Structure 1
Amino acid sequence: MKQLITTMLVLFSLIVLNGCVNSALTVPSQNSDLNKISNSNGKVKPGLMQKNLDNWLKNEWAPTVNEDKKVQKKYMKKVDTQGTNTSNDTEEKYVEDKERNFTLQEYVDKAAAYSKAHPNEGKDSHVKKLESMPVIGD
């Protein structure tokens, strides 16, 4: 009787474990109705916030920060290119150094350069908006 119980437990364990292994191998769903709603093989499209952030980084942040002389000298690699004009002048151009690791200090320096180029002047300050509101009570 004990041998029958242990055999049944071992057999049951093997069946359960075999079922777990097989279900992990069939990741794409064979259910067509489920695939209509949520296709696991489909591409993930970036959302609105990600698109806006990517556009801002490409069109506003990178050009502004990369033009700053301090950032260029400290974090970018200098590349000499031959001038296209008739003289033999060489033009200095700085490009992003891909081999260097990004540091927090680099971000702080780039943020300072961006803030210097785009001063806020408190136009959109929430503190100024709250101070300009009429006081109720008191």
Structure 2
Amino acid sequence: MRFTLSLSLSLFILGGCAANHTGVTPSQNSSLSAVSPNTASASKGGIMQRSLDEWLKEEWSPAMASEPTEKTKTNTDGTVVTTKTEPTTMTVSTKTADGQVVQKTANATQITTTTQTPDGKVTTTTEVVPLSEDNEPFTLQKYVDKWNDYLAKKEKMNEGKPKEPSHAEMMSQLPVIGK
């Protein structure tokens, strides 16, 4: 009797859980969503992600931005051609399969060409060329090269500024307890 009661109670409890949602994926399970909604994790990033995003925005991007360059060339006929390239951003619009338009900001290079003929006529053209996306496989050497470039540019940016003390220097400045 006792065994039958335990068995029937167990089957009732376990059977009730699976009966309403047989074959339903977790994202479509209304009972699971009521207990544990998954919107909170998608809506805000963790502290490490926010810290990385802030560092990329404030330090990495300004340090790695390429400087504008200007080249002047004089042709044999006396025409002077000046080409100026500078980094910029552009908005690219794409359509998804369901017809929605998605806008994305992409890095680009603005090329301004000024041509001055010997008779004084000046022609200026401006072209914005999107940078190609890096689809090469990741290699450790590529990472090391980028990091070396970043450190070299960061040293240039920090010239003349007071040096921040290292953690070891800060620890040695703390008072010693017990002496």
Is the helix fraction higher in 1 or 2?
1
